[in-house]
Chain A
Amino acid sequence: GIQVEQSPPDLILQEGANSTLRCNFSDSVNNLQWFHQNPWGQLINLFYIPSGTKQNGRLSATTVATERYSLLYISSSQTTDSGVYFCADTSGGGADGLTFGKGTHLIIQP
C-alpha cells in the first residue's frame, strides 16, 4: 500500500511563530486529508485537499499531486494549535483504506 512520511516528527515553537509541516507520499495522491489531534485526544478533520490550495483562518494547505507531497501551514501559532498533525491518503484511488502518517507533534509555548 501507499507509504506516508511526515516531517518533522516533533516541533516546538513560541506563540506567534509560523510553521510548515510536510507530508510525502510513495504513490499518486488520491484523497489527501489533514487532521489535528489535540492533547486530550480529540481528532479534527482540517482539510480534504487532493490538489491545489485551501485556507481556513490561520491554517492553509497545499498539495502538489504531481510531486506527491502536501504542506500544512500554520501562521501566528497559538497554544491551542498544540497537538499532533496527521496526513492521510487512500491507495490506488479505490476503497483500499486510509493510510495515515505517524504525525508531527507540535508544541506551542506561551
Chain B
Amino acid sequence: ETGVTQTPRHLVMGMTNKKSLKCEQHLGHNAMYWYKQSAKKPLELMFVYSLEERVENNSVPSRFSPECPNSSHLFLHLHTLQPEDSALYLCASSPTGWPPYEQYFGPGTRLTVT
C-alpha cells in the first residue's frame, strides 16, 4: 500500500464503548497528525507527533488518547465519547514535525457516537 491509510473507514459506537482508530503511513515521514472535522466547524488539529514524541496538543479532552508506537503508525484511542464527538477524523503525515509542511492525508474515519 502507498500513502496514508486509515482504519476503520466508518465506526459507530456507544458512549460507553472503547474503540481505537488506526493510521499508517508508507511515505517514510517523521511526523503524524490527528485532525477532527465536525459538521459546520473548521478543521481542528488535535495531536502532533514528531519522531514518535507528542509535540502539540490543542486542549483535547482526555477521552481522546493518542499513541504513536513508531514513525509509521498512529492510533487514537476513544473512550466514553459524547454524541458531539461524532465527526470525520483525519490522519496526516509529513516529512517534518512543526510547522507541518507538505502534509499527506488519509481518507478519514467517519465516527458516529450514539
Contacts and interface: CB of A to CB of B under 8 A. Distances in A.
Interface of A: 4, 30-31, 33, 41-45, 48, 86, 88, 90, 95, 97-103
Contacts of B99: 30-31, 90, 98
B103 A45 contact: yes
Given A41-B88, A43-B105, A97-B56, A102 B100 contact: no
Interface of B: 42-45, 48, 55-56, 58, 88, 90, 92, 98-105, 107-108
B55 A42 contact: no
Contacts, number: 42
A33 B102 CA distance: 9
**When A and B form their complex, which 5 residue pairs have the shortest distance between CB atoms, in order from nearest?**
A31-B99, A100-B43, A43-B105, A100-B42, A97-B58
14 contacts: A31-B99, A41-B107, A41-B108, A43-B90, A43-B108, A45-B102, A45-B103, A86-B42, A86-B43, A88-B43, A95-B55, A97-B45, A102-B42, A103-B42
A33 B33 CA distance: 16
Contacts of B104: 45
Point out which of A45, A99, A103 has the most chain B C-beta atoms below 10 A from its C-beta.
Answer: A45
